[in-house]
Each structure stands twice: as structure tokens, then as C-alpha cells.
Amino acid sequence: MKILNVREITENIKEMCIEANHFLSEDMKCVLCNAAETEEAPLGRQILEQLQENMRIAGEDMIPICQDTGMAVVFLEVGQEVHFEGGSLEEAVHEGVRQGYTEGFLRKSVVKDPIFRENTKDNTPAVIHCEIVPGDRVKITVAPKGFGSENMSRIFMLKPADGIEGVKSAVLTAVREAGPNACPPMVVGVGIGGTFEKCALMAKKALTRPVNERSSIPYVREMEEELLHRINATGIGPGGLGGTTTALAVNIDTYPTHIAGLPVAVNICCHVNRHAFRIL
Amino acid sequence: MDKYINVPLSEEDATALRAGDYVYLTGTVYTARDAAHKRMQEALDKGEPLPLDMKNNVIYYMGPSPARPGRVIGSAGPTTASRMDKYAPSLLDLGLKGMIGKGKRTQEVRDAIVRNGAVYFAAVGGAGALLSRSIISSEVIAYDDLGTEAIRKLVVKNFPVIVVMDSNGSNLYETAIEKNNRT
């Protein structure tokens, strides 16, 4: 058994909120850099170059990559041999977000009630997804999610008869409707199967997979590649102002589902696809 | 083509802009997003004055991240304009000449742009660190309690935007995407 004080969770989450909002992961940087070289439209190329410059300034001046520093989505994979002490694990996560967003000069974008909309002023609460896994370690993923792209995300409860073509058409529909609103070039997270909430969660988590890593399931990998190609043929382009780079990657996860259903969730993320990982 | 223009926008400058123009704005713009628009609409409904005169002004749909000490502003990129579509036509009819945001607009907004000789600019979404460098000063002038959603007066210098919708009714999102479409 491993004993972990929840103070460590708070401290790490605080640092990870700040890190994720100022520095993209290497795979994201790499794919953005390649896009700037391969984009065919002159205005598209100019925008992609500005995004590179934006990232450089963010890191050098410690100014967030995007002013929408997101609602903090936190995935916790907790080893079943870990025992937490020192207080509530959930409260420790919220406290990390509170400290990170306050001390890191990040924008407070969370309202207390979806109807009455009073700002909580410290970006809490986080959205926490906790999973119990074998072992004695805790893997933390902090993924601040901006709402320009979140608002363009969709769930489709397809019929089994719609099959793989139905799935592809659902993804393309979501991307076309998102267009310039979702700050393309986007990263497209897709969950197929499970239940209503399971496919949405898979789509969200798929966004945290490195963009240069394809699915290990052959037909899913093929679908990821085909969809990326077809999305980039739509012409939406960087900023939605036309071009050959509309998406940087399509990451798909699947799960067994019911005989009567084919749920598909499409979680769209802008080019500021932020996530920080740590293992304690 | 590249153009250097002063803001507030004159009638002549606004109507001469064409979809696709790359424009550098210098002068004063005001920020307002969801909550500020809702409040301005409520003021109009009650017949109360707005916190700023719309005439020839430009509204930037933006809520910045907090400024670090010694800095003018934090990250300062555009937010999605469509959420302001419900409010934009009445502000355009009051003389608003320009809007800076990102993303699609409704037909009602496009009609109001044409009717009033106005313009809709896009700034590059997700480039808030870069765009902040073109902002020289920032001062909250109304609705301070709204935090990031307060109305700010920004002095900008060569702030880079692209004309998406012009007073002729052209829409760059449609034409540019169609031009690059390979499906």
C-alpha cells in the first residue's frame, strides 16, 4: 500500500494548470509546425505561422496561449493500492485548480449555476473523472477545455444499421457545422459505442492521446486516417478562412455497446489542445 | 490587400473594406462579450443610456486573461461571435461600425451590416498571446463586476484582423471555404 497526502495532489494540479495553459505538448507543437509547411492556401499558411509565433510568445512571456484558459477537466487514474490521507481527494483537486488559476493569472471562466451564471471567481469547480486501476500509482491528466470548440461538439445516437458510414458522416457533419467557430485547425476526439455518457467521455479522453499516435485497432486506425483526409478536403482551413489544414488529427476510441445502439460522440478541440500529465 | 485603418471607423473606411482584406487597426476599440451584451440590451429595453456611444465604434468580442503585474493585459484573442448575434443588429442600427470576433453570423447580422455600412472582422482565434502585443492600454469603463466580461476601452496599434463580412454582403467564410473545397 502507498500512502499519499492529498496536499501533493493540490500542488501538482496547481502546477499542471499553469503548465498546460502556457506550453503545448511536443506532439501538438510538432503537428502544428508540420502544418505550417504543408498548408497550401497563403492566408492559411500565414495564420499557421502566427500560431507558431503565438506559442513562442506564450512560453517566453508566460502569457496564456489562449485567453480562454478553459474549464479544468481532470482525469485521475488511481491505483487500487493507494491510500489518500490529509483530507478529501476531490477537494484537493478543486484547491489545485483554485491556486493554479489564481496564482497563474489564468482566466476565471466558470459560473456557479448554468442559468443564473454568477462567476465563481477562481475557476472552480473542476470536472473530475476518476478511475480505479491496478497498482500503487496515481496518473493525473489536466486538460483545460475552451468552450469555442466545446460548444461545437455533438452526440449522435445512431442506429446499428447506420454502420461505419453513418459514423463517418456524423463526424464530418460535426466538423462542417463547427467550421470557423471551433478555431481550426482542430483536433477531433471521437467515442464510438458504450452508452450515452460513455461515448462522450471516450471522445473527451481521446483528445488527450498524442496526435501522432494512431489507434491499435486496424479498422479504427484506417477510419482515423480517412476522416482526417476527408476533413482536410472540406476547405475550411486555418481560422475557417480557407485552406488544406482543417484538422490536425482524428483520435477515435471504441467500446462495446448494446444490440440496439450505435452511440457516437464528437468532441472538438481547437488547435490549443492542452493537456499535462504526471504520475505520482 | 493589406490596409492600415484608424478606429473608430469612418463611414468611408468602413464601406471601402472588402471581404478578404487584411487590416491593421490603430486607435480605440471596446470589448464586450455575452454578459455585457445582455446588460446593454436590458438597458436599451428600459430606455436607459448605454455605457458607450455606438456611433462609429468597434466592439471586440473578447474577455482577456488577467494581466500579470506591470503588463497592460493578459492573453486577448477573440471569442465566438455567434453568441452575440441576438444583440448585434440593434447595436449596428445605433451606429456600431465594426465587430471583431471569430466564426459564423446569422443572416440578421449580415443584413444589419449591409444596412448600416458596417463590417465584421475576424481575429485569429487562439492567438491571444500574439494579439495582446498590439494592445497598448486597457481600462474598464463599465460593468466592472463582470470581471473578464466587463466593458474595456482598449487602445490598439496595428491590431491584425481580416475582413470576413463587408457592407456589400460578401462573406469570406463562404467564398474561401468553397475555393479550397476538394470534396
Instruction: Report which DSSP code applies to B107.
Output: H
B173 touches chain A (CB under 8 A): yes
Q: How far is CA B68 from CA A49, A56, B71, B152, B158, in A?
A: 26, 18, 6, 17, 23
Long-range contacts of B45-48 (CB under 8 A, 24+ apart): none
- Nearest-Cα distance to chain B for A160, in Å, is 26
CA distance A260 to A254: 16
Q: Which three cell numbers stand for residue A117?
A: 451564471
- Name every chain A residue with its beta carbon within 8 A of the beta carbon of B129: 54-55, 57-58, 61, 63-66
CA distance A69 to A21: 6
- What predicted TM-score, i.e. pTM, was given to this entire model? 0.95
Measure the CA dihedral A109/A113/A117/A123, to 10°: -20
Q: Per-residue pLDDT for A84 more than 80?
A: yes
Q: Across residues B118-140, what is the average pLDDT?
A: 97
- Nearest-Cα distance to chain A for B73, in Å, is 9
Domain locations along chain A: 2-20+65-145, 148-273
CA distance B118 to B137: 25
Q: What is the pLDDT of residue B1?
A: 76
The Cβ-side half-sphere exposure at A227, using a 13 Å CA radius, reads: 32
Domain locations along chain B: 2-180
**What is B2-180's CATH number, 3.20.130.10, 3.40.710.10, 3.40.50.10490, 3.40.50.2020?**
3.20.130.10
Nearest to A61 among B124, B129, B162 (CB): B129
Q: What is the pLDDT of residue A25?
A: 93
The continuous run of DSSP H or E covering B28 comes out as: strand B22-31
Q: Per-residue pLDDT for B182 more than 90?
A: no
The string of pLDDT tens digits covering residues A109-150 is 999 999 999 999 999 999 999 999 999 999 999 999 999 999
- Nearest-Cα distance to chain A for B69, in Å, is 10
Mean residue pLDDT of chain A comes to: 97
Q: Which three cell numbers stand for residue B83?
A: 453568441
Nearest to B147 among A41, A55, A119 (CB): A119
The string of pLDDT tens digits covering residues B65-122 is 999 999 999 999 999 999 999 999 999 999 999 999 999 999 999 999 999 999 999 9
What SS3 class is residue A242?
Answer: coil
The string of pLDDT tens digits covering residues A235-257 is 999 999 999 999 999 999 999 99
The string of pLDDT tens digits covering residues B151-178 is 999 999 999 999 999 999 999 999 998 8
Q: What is the pLDDT of residue B153?
A: 98
Q: What is the pLDDT of residue B14?
A: 96
Task: Provide the percentage of residues in chain A whose pLDDT is more than 90.
Answer: 99
Mean residue pLDDT of chain B comes to: 96
pLDDT band at B25 (very low <50, low <70, confident <90, very high): very high
Q: Per-residue pLDDT for A164 more than 90?
A: yes
CA distance B33 to A67: 13
A73 touches chain B (CB under 8 A): no
Pairing outcome for strands A247-257 and A186-194: parallel
Residue B33 — φ and ψ, nearest 5°? -130, -150
The string of pLDDT tens digits covering residues A202-212 is 999 999 999 99
Q: Which three cell numbers stand for residue A88?
A: 478529501
A239 touches chain B (CB under 8 A): yes
A106 touches chain B (CB under 8 A): yes
Q: Is the Cβ–Cβ distance between B120 and B131 less than 8 Å?
A: no
Task: Provide the percentage of residues in chain A whose pLDDT is more than 70.
Answer: 100
Q: Across residues A55-80, what is the average pLDDT?
A: 97
> In this predicted complex, what is the ipTM?
0.93
Q: What is the pLDDT of residue B183?
A: 81
- Name every chain A residue with its beta carbon within 8 A of the beta carbon of B180: 40-41, 44, 235-237, 242-244
